[in-house]
Amino acid sequence: MRGSVLSDKKVAEVIKKDFVLYELNVTEEGFPEDVPALKPWETAYKKQWLYKMAFATSAVISPDGQKFFGSSGSGFAEEAEISPNYNPDLFIECLGESRKRYDRWVELEKDTKMSGLEKWKKRGELDKEILASVQPRKKE
């Protein structure tokens, strides 16, 4: 991925404006213990032997590392036509959607007028949306 979408000028501009880019080589460094938002990727990495040979993705997480808001999906070559990992416009779309989910989460957490039950329901709805966003994309 380093040689594809992340080197695209439009992608770089979006990242520079709204995100902090951090490259993590899990083969050499492992997964950080203090970033629970990456636990789903750590679990997948440990369960799938193929990932030990190639594991490339991008995850959008909260600044405190507690929650994830989106992912570019797998970097498998057979998904090159539909994967944000290989398509700058799709990657920018993925970043934008992730940023919107993050902004909604922040607003939800700040809301002092919403009841605890209503906030719990809205968190659940947003969590479902976040999980759906990391499912493999389908060819149209």
The rounded average pLDDT for each run of 10 residues, N- to C-terminus, in the chain (140 residues) is 75 93 84 91 82 77 93 76 86 94 95 95 94 70
End-to-end CA distance of the chain: 23
Q: Is the dihedral of CA 132, 133, 134, 137 positive or negative?
A: positive
Amino acid at 88: P
Q: Note whether 1 and 85 are within 8 A (CB).
A: yes
pLDDT of residue 139: 59
Q: Cα separation of 93 and 104, whole Å?
A: 17
Tokens of 94: 């993925």
Partners of 61 in beta bridges: 68
